[in-house]
Amino acid sequence: EFEEARKWVVNDLVFDKNVDVNLFESTIRILGGLLSTYHLSGDSLFLEKAKDIGNRLMPAFKTPSKIPYSDVNIGRGTAHPPRWTSDSTVAEVTSIQLEFRELSRLTGDEKFQKAVDEVMKHVHTLSGKNDGLVPMFINTNSGQFTHLGVYTLGARADSYYEYLLKQWIQGGKKENELLEDYMRAIEGVKKHLLQRSQPKKLTFVGELAHGHFSAKMDHLVCFLPGTLALGAHNGLTADHMKLAEALIETCYQMYAQVETGLSPEIVHFNLHAQKGHKDVEIKPADRHNLLRPETVESLFYMYRFTGDKKYQDWGWEILQNFNKYTRVPTGGYTSINNVQNPSNPEPRDKMESFFLGETLKYMFLLFSDDIDLINLDKYVFNTEAHPLPIWVPA
Ligand code: DMJ
């Protein structure tokens, strides 16, 4: 299968195309995937392709503030923000660093690393944060945060926090500003976003909008227990591990308390006990499941670091439910519209690439006891589950 895929890369993976792509998605999926494949196979073909796409994405950084635009035309070498705004998403501009830094290290060409390091340095000094928590948008002209006052660990901010820790690990734990920003942010989460639900007293991460707390949590936030556990494994405070243990239980309950045993895209937690109510409430617009990886990803980290078999059991349960409700008899899996209806979950006929790239890969790793199957002291996973080497392994 690998040889077949390699042939496709040789013959059909051509980037000289007049097409607009999203900088972040192309970096984490295509550039990250190629770099990772280069490391795992040693085949220079993949590095050549990585260089090609890396160069084609660089025009995104030609902005007045050097905060990249969201979209690049990889054939024409032009870049622009989305049609309706000159803002970029904070998570997007701060979650391309692992890949571009690695590309510089491998090619000896500093320009990739310089461009992404500059973004991090700029964001480090920026005002508008709330105890280390960042807003969701940043303007490509002024370089300032916009839509101030809204803080989430979910969509549009999530992987900012993940990449602070992972860049610090990638670079051999020397870049103190990254660690400072990460530690401050986790304190910010504890101070502003953590609450406990009723009746099970599950610890969850909500959102803050102009001083008002909302008990809303995206499934995307479930990357956090895994990231906290990874930090604790790398010598950060044991408190982070305690929080990881509480949060992964919550993420599991986001599956277990639902009729199909699959999590919706977004849940709201009950803050007050009411007879007959569970912790997790689901709004009609939020009851789809896109085969997302975050909970399984965190289960993998938790199992690797604790050896507690309950994490494997929870992952196995989730896999059975993916098989039951999302598997397509003629091949593949699909997103579904309604996790609350076991008799008709409403298949969408769409399988996101992260189901293969992340969800199944993390399942595979979760069910293995071999710590050398991607040793976490030698590799760091990018946010699309592509392992990249740690520059100075422990
Ligand atoms: C993936 O593309 C990445 O994990 C990203 O950081 C968040 N969204 C999807 C998976 O849910």
Protein residue whose Cα sits closest to atom 11 of ligand 1: 292
Q: Rounded distance, CA 250 to CA 152, Å?
A: 17
Q: Rounded distance, CA 202 to CA 343, Å?
A: 29
**Cβ neighbours, 10 Å, residue 341:** 14
C-alpha pair distances (Å), 85 with each of 1, 61, 68, 77, 371: 43, 17, 13, 20, 46
Q: Where are the domains of the chain?
A: 1-72+84-389
Ligand 1 pocket test, candidate residues 21, 26, 28, most atoms within 8 A of CB: 28
Ligand 1 neighbours (beta carbon < 6 A)? 159, 220, 292-293, 354, 358, 383-384
The secondary structure of residue 369, as a DSSP letter, is -
Ligand 1 pocket test, candidate residues 25, 266, 384, 386, most atoms within 8 A of CB: 384
- Does the annotation count 158 as an active-site position? yes
Amino acid symbol at 186: I
Protein residue whose Cα sits closest to atom 2 of ligand 1: 384
Class of the CATH domain delimited by 1-72+84-389: mainly alpha
Print pLDDT tens along the chain (394 aa).
999 999 999 999 999 999 999 999 999 999 999 999 999 999 999 999 999 999 999 999 999 999 999 999 999 999 999 888 999 999 999 999 999 999 999 999 999 999 999 999 999 999 999 999 999 999 999 999 999 999 999 999 999 999 999 999 999 999 999 999 999 999 999 999 999 999 999 999 999 999 999 999 999 999 999 999 999 999 999 999 999 999 999 999 999 999 999 999 999 999 999 999 999 999 999 999 999 999 999 999 999 999 999 999 999 999 999 999 999 999 999 999 999 999 999 999 999 999 999 999 999 999 999 999 999 999 999 999 999 999 987 6
Per the annotation, does 306 bind a ligand?
no
Distance 385 CA to ligand 1 centre (A): 9
This model's pTM is above 0.95: yes
- Does the annotation count 372 as an active-site position? no
